[in-house]
Amino acid sequence: MTTLEKTPDAGGPAGKADAPYLEVNDLTVKFPTADGLVHAVSNLSYSVELGKTLGIVGESGSGKSVSSMAVLGLHDARTARITGSIKVDGMEVVGLSDQKMRAMRGNSTAMIFQDALAALHPFYRVGAQLAEAYQIHHPGANKRDARRRAIEMLDRVGIPEPHSRVDDFPHQFSGGMRQRVMIAMGLINDPALLIADEPTTALDVTVQAQILDLLQDLQKEFNSAIVIITHDLGVIAEMADDVLVMYSGRAVEYGSCREILSHPEMPYTWGLLSSVPDVTSDPNARMIPIPGTPPSMLNPPIGCAFEARCTHSDKVGGDLCATKLPEMRPGGRGAHHLKRCHLADPDAVYAAEVLPVIAPDLAEES
């Protein structure tokens, strides 16, 4: 996978300016169940450089979280079959021993989860939970060091009076403050790669904006690579440098954020854009939900997974959409914008049929 926007100052601590910090190649995750094999993620490839943010977007069950948890090796080896390659800072992670994986987890690669109330242990003080995350990767640090570090991190993520709040339990924090605690825990060991799994879901919009700002500030400060998983295109627009759209366990569109949001080439991405409410937009704009439901992951269709819900498949000759899985390949807008679709000229279809409905003002301008 090629990197999308090369900037000269994107070098990390290791000085590997060119190699992406996280490189996922042909990742496939399957779960054997009593009903058969669940194809949770199929042939997924993407990469993220230090200092950059990749947004992974898709609906529930599209494989966003499953693919990211594979990066940290959080799947149970007894229940998940993982093939392909995940390289973190050049090191292959798939098949890595549990011991080596643990040294990486929470240290150079950290993850923050949605719903911090459930993701933090209800019976331990937040200070103890932060200190634990620090001490496990700093065996030389004593309790006092770890506590000092915990307070420092709480202060850094904007929690007022960190000296006293460090001794509070998670349930004593508000939702936004709790998510800050979660972020403080993720960042306590200065990770080079941070995976944020829907970090702002279930938070109100003002708090959501604060959390996203915080993540961006911290990214600037530490030059870390961020993978942000979301189903909210607003979050993508605010945070991401690159966007990966997933559907039914596969990447369906991949490119820079501006490209994807302004010139989407895959009907599923159009559907996502059509279903975003926007108070500031043209009052004539319509919000159109995507009809139907995603296909079963037990027996994925042989053709395009989106075919059954796609309103544009009739523009493709024959029954190509139903019988042949489209490749992930560059469309009409250059090598850095990949899409998985049989449509011959998606730009024209988008401009003629989709844009006038969802954003009449934009359609008139162009």
Partner 1 sequence: MLGFVVRRLMSSLLVILLASFVVFAIFYLGPSNPAKPVCDAQGKCTPERLAAIEHNMGLDKNVFEAYGTFMKGVVAGREVTVGSKQYDCAAPCLGISFANGQEVTSELKKRLVPTLLVAIGGSLTYLILGVLIGVFAASKRGTIADRLLVSGSLLVSSVPYYLMCLLAWIYLTQQWSIFPETGYFPITENPFKTFTGLLLPCLVLGIASAPAYARFTRGQMVETLGDDYIRTAKAKGLPGHSVLTKHALRAAIVPIITIFGLDFGVLLGGTIFTEFIFDIDGIGRWGLLALRAPLDLPVITATVLVGSLLIVISNLLVDLTYGFLDPRVRLG
Chain residues in the site for partner 1 (CB under 8 A): 72, 74, 78, 98, 102-107, 110-111, 113, 115, 118-124, 132-133, 136-137, 169, 171, 185
Residue closer to partner 1 by CB (options 72, 252) is 72
- In angstroms and rounded to an integer, the radius of gyration of the C-alpha atoms of the chain is 21
Q: How far is the CB of 189 from partner 1 (least distance, A)?
A: 9
Residue closer to partner 1 by CB (options 34, 279) is 34
Q: How far is the CB of 278 from partner 1 (least distance, A)?
A: 32
Q: How far is the CB of 73 from partner 1 (least distance, A)?
A: 9
Q: Do 4 and 330 contact (CB within 8 A), yes or no?
A: no
Say how far apart CA 293 and CA 315 lie, in whole Å. 21
Residue closer to partner 1 by CB (options 202, 348) is 202
| b/e 234-264 (16+ beta carbons within 10 angstroms → b) | bbbebbbbbbbbbbbbbbbbbbbbebbbebb
Q: Which residues 6+ apart lie within 8 Å of 77 measured at CB?
A: none
Q: How far is the CB of 116 from partner 1 (least distance, A)?
A: 9
Residue closer to partner 1 by CB (options 47, 68) is 68
Q: How far is the CB of 121 from partner 1 (least distance, A)?
A: 4
Q: Is 29 exposed, middle or buried (0-12, 13-18, 19+ CB in 10 A)?
A: buried
Residue type, 61: G
Among residues 8, 47, 11, which one has the least CA distance to residue 244? 47
Residue closer to partner 1 by CB (options 104, 252) is 104
